[in-house]
Amino acid sequence: MKLAIASDHAGFPLKEALKKAFPQYQWEDFGTYSADSMDYPDTGTPAAQAVASGACAKGVLICGSGIGMSIVANKVEGIRAALCVNTDIARLSRMHNDANILVLAGRFTAIPYAIQILDAWLHTDFEGGRHQQRIDKISKIEGDIK
């Protein structure tokens, strides 16, 4: 499975650790490539666009708090990015919201916990059913606000 991944400078160490922890996935890395200060929209936007277009199946975005990357990703039509702070929320973001991008807080999530969160997120399927009608409503909102 091909996954998009991107971070800002604050998320760079965690991004690199996650790629190493999950070598079984093909990672398309949209940057950043160092801990030098940069702006998260410059990496988060193209990563989210790759997921929205289907070039990547899912994505992982990381910034200091996770909030900036969440905002950026959710501006891209078709993206449902979820900032997850533990494995339970990660599973629910997939089961109930069909989140296609996981967002992590690089400054607040230790590497071992981030690995557990990503593992739970990657191995949880969308339940569909009553949750699908909610996803359909979100898609309609996206279409209505163009």
Q: What is the pLDDT of residues 50-81, one digit of tens each?
A: 999 999 999 999 999 999 999 999 999 999 99
> pLDDT at position 95, please?
97
What are the catalytic residues?
63, 96
Boundaries of domain holding 24: 2-144
Distance of alpha carbon 124 from alpha carbon 28, whole angstroms: 21
Instruction: Give the CATH number of the domain where residue 98 resides.
Output: 3.40.1400.10
pTM score of the predicted model: 0.96
Q: Which residues make Cβ contacts (< 8 Å) with residue 45, sequence separation at least 6?
A: 72, 73, 75, 76
Structure tokens of 33?
Answer: 């490539």
Counted domains in the chain: 1
Distances (CA, A) of 35 to 10, 23, 68, 111: 7, 22, 17, 16
